Amino acid sequence: MLVKTAATAIATTSNAPSWDKEPATDSETDAFTEGYWPSTIPGNIIITDEFGFVVDAKNGIKPKIRMKNYSGKIKMSISATYKDGAKTKKYKCAFAAFGSTKKMKTAKWKWYTPKKACILPKPLVTAIQTGATTLSAKGKWARQWTTTAKKLRTDKTKIKPRTLKYTVRAKPAAIK
């Protein structure tokens, strides 16, 4: 029989972000802001325990965020500059606002993602995979407390919006 104690749980915990287990609490800031393009598509770009991107088989990409105590709408866009043959091109795509502003009875971890993905051009995907360029994501999260739907915590402190900034690049050879 295996007995798990707090000491063994801490010793075996990896620093790498994971979507397999729920985080202890909502993060006020991001421990990581960089994610790696998946080696196989479709795949996930896991940046933190609470945030990342999902890439589908048609090079569609969309953000995915997990919320518990905080909820609210997120406005986000992605951009990149890449070479297509001899031409330098710019790519920009804005996602529809996603998240929830509904008042919930209890705070539970829940995933949110926009309905539509941004479709990345094939030359841009190739440029990311080869390390020739990076994909930048910027967003604003107007947060609120999930169980009250107000911009105040239960201790009456004000909840500030969060600025989200992430980078997606090719996975370095040193990282498996």
Q: Could you tell me the residue ranges of all domains in the chain?
A: 32-169
* pLDDT digits 0-9 by tens, 52-74: 999 999 999 999 999 999 999 99
The mean pLDDT of the chain is: 91
Average pLDDT rounded to a whole number, residues 135-156: 97
Closest CA to 102 of 59, 144, 132, 55: 144
Give the pair of three-digit tokens for residue 141: 């999260």
| Residue 75 near residue 87, CB atoms below 8 Å | no
CA-based angle 126:129:134, to the nearest 5? 95
Q: Which amino acid is at 84?
A: D
Q: Which of 82-91, 123-132, 133-142, 166-175 has the least mean pLDDT? A: 166-175
Q: CA–CA separation, 63 vs 77, rounded Å? A: 10
Q: How many Cα neighbours within 13 Å face the side chain of 73?
A: 6
Q: Which amino acid is at 130?
A: T
| Residue 87 near residue 129, CB atoms below 8 Å | no
CA-based angle 97:102:107, to the nearest 5? 110
Residue 11 pLDDT exceeds 80: no
Evaluate if pTM is beyond 0.85.
yes
Residue 174 pLDDT exceeds 60: yes
Give the pair of three-digit tokens for residue 34: 């960089």
Average pLDDT rounded to a whole number, residues 28-33: 91
* Non-local CB neighbours of 115 within 8 Å, separated by 6+ positions: 96, 98
Q: Write down the pLDDT at residue 16.
A: 83
**Which comes out higher in pLDDT, residue 174 or 22?**
22
Average pLDDT rounded to a whole number, residues 88-104: 97
* Non-local CB neighbours of 164 within 8 Å, separated by 6+ positions: 30, 51, 74, 76, 137, 138, 139, 140, 141
